[in-house]
């Protein structure tokens, strides 16, 4: 999982020039957003099916995300990268989302 760049909370522009306060966007009040807490992310199983040339191609992936929409988006993107070639035309997409229960020890 790639780390996010720090972004300004007021203008949502990525930081530049070693967080000096003056960025390329002209925002003088640079306030970095706190990074995501990795412990709050939940594991989801996403099953994506893509209709390619009159046949369905299915792929199942596990993703970590904070909510439903983020998990579905990450899962469909990752499944698409794994299942089909980059320039393949996809006619229709179906996705199913299952939360993975955390076992407390």
Q: For the stretch 52-64, what's the b/e string if a residue is b when 16 or more beta carbons lie within 10 angstroms of its beta carbon? A: beeeebebebebe
Looking at the predicted structure, is the pLDDT value of residue 3 above 60? no
Average pLDDT over residues 70-94: 94
Instruction: Answer whether 0.75 is exceeded by the pTM.
Output: no
Helix (H) or strand (E) holding 73: helix 68-83
Q: What is the pLDDT of residues 16-67, one digit of tens each?
A: 555 545 545 566 665 555 656 777 889 999 999 999 999 999 999 999 988 8
d(CA 97, CA 93): 13
């Amino acid at each position: 999982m790639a780390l996010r760049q720090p972004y300004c909370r007021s203008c949502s522009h990525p930081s530049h020039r070693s967080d000096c306060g003056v960025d390329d966007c002209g925002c003088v009040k640079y306030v970095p957003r706190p990074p995501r807490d990795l412990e709050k992310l939940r594991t989801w199983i996403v099953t994506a099916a893509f209709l390619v040339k009159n046949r369905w191609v299915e792929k199942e992936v596990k993703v970590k995300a904070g909510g439903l929409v983020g998990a579905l988006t990450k899962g469909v993107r990752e499944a698409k990268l794994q299942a089909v070639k980059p320039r393949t035309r996809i006619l229709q997409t179906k996705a199913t989302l299952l939360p993975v229960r955390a076992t407390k020890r």
